[in-house]
Amino acid sequence: MQSKYFNPAFNSAIFDGPIRIYFAQFHESLALKIYFMIQQQLVKEMARAKEVSKSSGANIMMMVYPTAESFTLSFDGKPADTPFETEKWNEDIMIGLRGPIEDNNLELLIESLRLTMNNWKPVNVANPQGLVEV
């Protein structure tokens, strides 16, 4: 993947439908924890996101950056006090974690992902449910 979001440290990934989690091997336990939380807590949202992705080819990509500095290179100009950021990139949604986030921020991440998935509407998808674009 060639974009400002890619980091050479990303040598592993978890793909499940529209969700793509990229990480360095040493963050595998965190990435798996996030993946299992998504599977357990976002069942309805995942089903909808799979339909959106199938119609549009768009994905939600989560990047677990190895350090805060590597995050800053991709998400320049973002406040340093947030554990993660979300941006739209073409039809995709990019979620960058400012290094490995603490367990107390995981619920915040999952709730943010829930809102993102509920409001995700790529431009090239018909809007049968009156969904808004993120």
Give the model confidence (pLDDT) of 84-114 as tens digits: 999 999 889 999 999 888 888 999 999 999 9
Global confidence as pTM: 0.86
Q: What is the mean pLDDT of the chain?
A: 88
* Confidence (pLDDT) at 125: 52
**Cβ contacts of 127 within 8 Å, gap of 6 or more:** 121
10 Å Cβ neighbour count for 36? Answer: 10
Q: Are strands 19-23 and 60-64 parallel, antiparallel or unpaired?
A: parallel
Better-predicted residue by pLDDT, 40 or 2: 40
Beta strands in the chain (DSSP E): 12-16, 19-23, 60-64, 84-89, 92-97
| Residue 28: pLDDT over 50 | yes
